[in-house]
Amino acid sequence: MPPDLDRPDLYINRELSLLEFNHRVLEQAKDPDTPLLERLKFLCISSTNLDEFFEIRVAGLMQKIEVGAVHSSVDGMQPGEAMAAISARAHDVVAEQYRILNEVLIPALAAEDIHFVRRTEWSERQEHWLREYFENELLPVISPMGLDPAHPFPRILNKSLNFIVSLRGKDAFGRSGGTAIVQAPRALPRVIQLPRSTGGGKNDFVFLSSVIHTYVEQLFPGMRVRGCYQFRVTRNSDLFVDEEEIDDLLRALEGELASRRYGDCVRLEVADNCPDDMADFLLQKFNLERDALYQVNGPVNLNRLLAVYDLVDRSDLKYAPYQPAVPASLDPKQGVFETLTRRDVLLHHPYDAFSPVLEFLRQAAEDPKVLAVKQTLYRTGPDSPVVDHLVTAARAGKEVTVVVELRARFDEQENITLANRLQEAGAHVVYGIVGYKTHAKMLLVVRRERRGLRNYVHLGTGNYHTKTARLYTDYGLLTARRELGQDVHSMFLQLTSLGRVSEMNRVLHAPFTLHSGLMERIAAERDRALEGGKGRIIFRVNSLVEPQMIRALYEAAMAGVAIDLIVRGMCCLRPGVPGVSDNIRVRSIVGRFLEHSRVYYFGNGGRPEVWLSSADCMERNFFRRVELAFPVQTRRLRQRLINELEWYLADNTQAWSLGRDGRYERRSAAAQEESFSVQQALLAEAQENPTRAED
């Protein structure tokens, strides 16, 4: 009998898999081969990731539990079971975060004369300076709140720093001491750098929490402080807007953004010396169970330590700077349109510069032959030069159409701001399709030439964001191929107009043909192997979750197809199961840059296909988003992508292999094997061969 591919034990829980990714990020903070301040940054990133995990993933599970949902996921876990497993693993991760901070990073930083000075270690001059700092900078803006019938428990902002204070004595009105809450304004720095005049070193720091602890009695004149303990609460930060019941998505989202700060509570972090009765008091106020309590030995918000990275001027403790490569054929002094009539250009960020994309857009805005510019924007960042060029094009009288996805999580406010700016400049701004996020990355330029109108396009796997283009790995294709240009034109018509699904020439697009197109190609590799040929599949994605695709990959592997999956984050497929996934290997690369590209490779009987896409292997990407996958048709560029995939499979320094048990093991070079890092190799190649982006 063939194995039952719906067995729950063949699937890894997606939330637990995401926690494992965060643990891999955290492990970078321990890596002695990583520069010290970069290790501190990885610790902060792991904290930020965990915050979002609770705000979205845990919050969603808690909602299911609250309404009594009993439907299990594909891995067989019901919401309550998943919640218990997540809590146990998350407590382990948090404990490891603070162990690394206190036992690894703080001593290592001290060895480099970067000190976090404890209250017990303040010199007289430091104490005098900090007292003045408290009185002049903190005291005027802090409003302590004593709790009594006239002063109920205050609303606590999501992820804000707060203190619960136990008091003794009587105040001016004869009220007996009790409990008070002190909220630290968000404008205050959480890490304070001591000036050299205090007699310390150049890089001496004090936590804001230490300063408030020391001088908290000044907030309660005549009272005695029995205890002061920091805490932070994390809230559900997912937004809900019923798009069927509103007239203007932008205005509806603006109304929802304010409520995000005060969503239902999902986690409480307190100082580890906080007494049980006070912790229980807070849990009761936030309507949380005991398993939602995280007691920590250090600042409750580790990601605020990221300020130290910028404050310390020590290039020897950071990654060496690099200059992204710019293809010689895309010299800003030459015309990008003329170049693209001769060749496609493939960019691999951050090894290749993002500036060619900006130059393409700039020339489109200024070229009198350009009639129209159309673009999708998901995340662009504030003060984006991309938006600047679109504004220039609109003011120059060109037809500018921008599909702004307002619901890009945690970037909603920035997207609302840029949408208003574009509209004021005269651009046509739409928000995509009701019920579907627009996640495709497309830029279309329509230019009048001697033989008529011609389409030039940029297609990408990542966002049009100049800063993340230096931090995330993504591919972008610049081309003037007629059929691709027609397909992108058709997709913009779908996004802005009404009509039936257009038949595409080259691209696969969600929610219509992307899932089925990839499934057909997996099946073709399976059938080829069953007929005695060689089947080969390589995916490089952020997440692999969608059950139908996992089953298809299992079937292909059982037929003999060799499958390599390079999955940065969540992977619900379980490799190494005898008779099911023996032929599947799963690895994750965690390094200097955040792996963000989506590449789909199929051997195709010796005529390989390589597809780049904005979509991961997730149900939401295939069925609830507008996504795009496009083939790389130029042989040389396609071979370059294949070579880079092989490099990813050869990495033995920053690669983690997924085991059958759902845990990851870091790869290391064998005794006679040379160490190889794919990210370092790509950086080196970009510096040595800047023309490789051309064909």
The predicted-structure confidence for 78-93, as pLDDT tens digits, reads as follows: 999 999 999 999 999 9
Q: 533 in helix, strand or coil? A: coil
What's the whole-number mean pLDDT along residues 386-402?
95
Rounded distance, CA 234 to CA 266, Å?
A: 6
> For the chain, which domains are there?
8-317 (3.30.1840.10), 328-506 (3.30.870.10), 509-693 (3.30.870.10)
- What angle, rounded to 10 degrees, do the helices at 79-99 and 14-27 form? 10
Residue % of the chain over a pLDDT of 70: 93
Residue 334 is predicted with a pLDDT of: 74
Residue 185 is predicted with a pLDDT of: 86
Residue 246 is predicted with a pLDDT of: 45
pLDDT-derived band of residue 242, with 50, 70 and 90 as boundaries?
very low
What's the whole-number mean pLDDT along residues 60-70?
84
Residue 431 is predicted with a pLDDT of: 84
Helices (H) and strands (E) in the chain, counts: 20, 27
Mean pLDDT rounded to a whole number for the chain: 91
Residue 259 is predicted with a pLDDT of: 54
Tokens matching residue 325: 């490569």
The predicted-structure confidence for 477-504, as pLDDT tens digits, reads as follows: 999 999 999 999 999 999 988 778 789 9
Q: Which residue has the higher pLDDT, 251 or 627?
A: 627
The predicted-structure confidence for 546-602, as pLDDT tens digits, reads as follows: 999 999 999 999 999 999 999 999 999 999 999 999 999 999 999 999 999 999 999
Tell me: pLDDT of 257 over 70.
Answer: no
Rounded distance, CA 132 to CA 194, Å?
A: 12
Tell me: pLDDT of 374 over 80.
Answer: yes
Tokens matching residue 211: 């300063």
Distances in Å between the Cα of 172 and the Cα atoms of 153, 223, 227 are 21, 10, 21
Rounded distance, CA 154 to CA 467, Å?
A: 37
pLDDT-derived band of residue 381, with 50, 70 and 90 as boundaries?
confident
Residue 420 is predicted with a pLDDT of: 86
Tell me: pLDDT of 58 over 60.
Answer: yes
| Residues belonging to the active site | 439
The predicted-structure confidence for 502-540, as pLDDT tens digits, reads as follows: 899 999 999 999 999 999 999 999 999 999 999 999 999
- CA Rg value for the chain: 27
Residue 528 is predicted with a pLDDT of: 97
Q: What are phi and psi of 191, to 5 degrees?
A: -125, 125
Show Cβ contacts of residue 646 under 8 Å, excluding neighbours closer than 6 positions.
none
Lowest pLDDT segment from 163-172, 209-218, 452-461:
163-172
Tokens matching residue 88: 């146990």
What's the whole-number mean pLDDT along residues 356-381?
94
Residue 143 is predicted with a pLDDT of: 85
The predicted-structure confidence for 331-351, as pLDDT tens digits, reads as follows: 767 789 999 999 999 999 999
- Please, are residues 47 and 97 in contact by the beta-carbon 8 Å criterion? yes
Residue at 132: amino acid letter: E
Tokens matching residue 658: 């997924």
Query: The whole model's pTM is what?
Result: 0.93
The predicted-structure confidence for 285-319, as pLDDT tens digits, reads as follows: 999 999 999 999 999 999 999 999 999 999 999 99
The predicted-structure confidence for 197-219, as pLDDT tens digits, reads as follows: 988 889 999 999 999 999 999 99
Tell me: pLDDT of 655 over 70.
Answer: yes
